[in-house]
Amino acid sequence: MMSPPKRAGLLCLMPDSLAAFATSALDRAEKALETAAQTRICVAGVTVGIAETTPKVVHWLSGQFDPPAASPSARIYCDYSGAYLAELPALGDLSELSPLALDEALAQAGLFGSFDAGQNRWDLFDPARNIGLRLLPHPEAYPEWEPTAPLANLLGWVMRAKGRMVMHAASLSLGSKGILLAGPGGAGKSGTTLAGVANGLQSVGDDYCVVSPAPSPVARPLYRMMKQDSQGLARVEIKGVESPLNWQGKHVFDLREVFPEAAVDMANIKAILLPKVSHLKRSGLTPASAFEALQALAPSTMLQLGGDRSATFKACAEVVRAVPAFHLHLSEDPREIAASIRDFIQEGRS
């Protein structure tokens, strides 16, 4: 019988070695956090302390979060020294490891993690200790989208330790009732959210929401910033937004500054709307199946936020089982779009 290839042998050893690597790295992070200066933020009511070997993320936090109200219940350490790189060869060819296999390997140690083989970027989180760790080979190795969504994986795991899930969805609400807007990029989520807040509706999030799936879905803010291109701003007649452009060529601005009445802390989710740019004279709503809602919500959330994707899928499934879903066929009139969603929320069709 032929011996298995050497690479396969390394992959067989990987779960134990990965768990040992992650645990050791988090041990070092915990020790470093004992003396490191920390910047505090508040995420959906949870105070998080963030420390870095070189100031980087701290420059991107302004406007994204609420001021902290308590001592940190979770801590994140960002290490840009590259010291961990010497340990990676012993783990084998990590480029061969699928995200699901990584999830399973780290789950054996009770950890969450994500790895980018292209940049040797690690995110690790221990929910038992509420400690997160980001490892980068140098401070400039951050991806281009990081300034507008800092530490998304790690903050998502902080929320998961609190029984919540970060989901790739937008929200609109009126009073305490709201809806989630789900779908792939380009479906119209951000444009619909902007049309809503510009015309009297409220929102807890433009791109990501912190969702408590049970017993009934409740959405809270992750980031407070909105993103929209110049054409989108002009479409809803917003002027005077002179924020810098992000990597997608979109303006990034604080919802609380442009639409202070629209920024809310919580919304009880009564339905999921799946927007579609349809160029109609009047927006329309038609029933969508739970499967269609799950397709709109789960894949993009699992793609954008790593770590224990099976738990992510389960949480998304809980939400789509709990509330009805509708296709939202969009008109070209922002005021009419907002009015249609307002009527939907007020009518209580959900």
Q: Residue 349 pLDDT > 60, yes or no?
A: no
> At how many degrees (to 10) do helices 6-33 and 99-107 cross?
60
Cβ distance 339 to 201 under 8 Å? Answer: no
Contacts of 267 (CB under 8 A, 6+ apart): 171, 173, 176, 177, 178, 202, 204, 218, 219
- Rounded Cα distance between 306 and 286, Å, is 32
Give the 3-state secondary structure of residue 204.
coil
CATH code of 166-347, in short, is 3.40.50
Residue 10 has pLDDT above 50, yes or no: no
Q: Which of 58-62, 73-77, 130-134, 315-319 has the lowest mean pLDDT?
A: 58-62
Average the pLDDT over 188-202 and give the result. 93
Q: What are the distances in angstroms from CA 222 to CA 46, 63, 206, 265, 279? A: 10, 12, 9, 10, 31
Q: Please, which pLDDT band fits residue 348 given cuts at 50, 70 and 90? A: low
Q: What is the pLDDT of residues 137-174, one digit of tens each?
A: 999 999 998 998 999 999 999 999 999 999 999 999 99
The neighbouring-strand residues paired with 172 are 179
User: Which pLDDT belongs to residue 3?
Assistant: 43
Whether residue 1 has pLDDT greater than 80: no
Higher pLDDT, 8 or 42: 42
Q: From the CB of residue 144, how many other CB atoms can be counted at a distance below 10 Å?
A: 9
**pLDDT value at 11 more than 60:** no
* Highest mean predicted confidence (pLDDT) among 83-92, 255-264, 285-294: 285-294
Q: How confident is the model at residue 5 (pLDDT cuts 50, 70, 90)?
A: very low
Torsion angle, CA of 74/76/77/78, rounded to 10 degrees?
Answer: 180
- The domain spans of the chain are 6-161, 166-347
Query: Can you give the pLDDT at residue 165?
Result: 93
The larger pLDDT score, comparing residue 66 to residue 86, is at 86
Predicted TM-score (pTM) of this structure: 0.90
Q: Which 8-state DSSP code applies to residue 342?
A: H
Residue found by looking up tokens 């069709």 in the block = 349
pLDDT for 228:
84
Task: Please calculate the CA angle 287-278-298 and round it to the nearest 5 degrees.
Answer: 55
What's the pLDDT at 240? Answer: 67
Structure tokens at 118: 């292209």
The terminus-to-terminus CA distance of the chain in angstroms comes to 62
Q: Let me know: does 282 contact 129? Beta carbons within 8 Å.
A: no
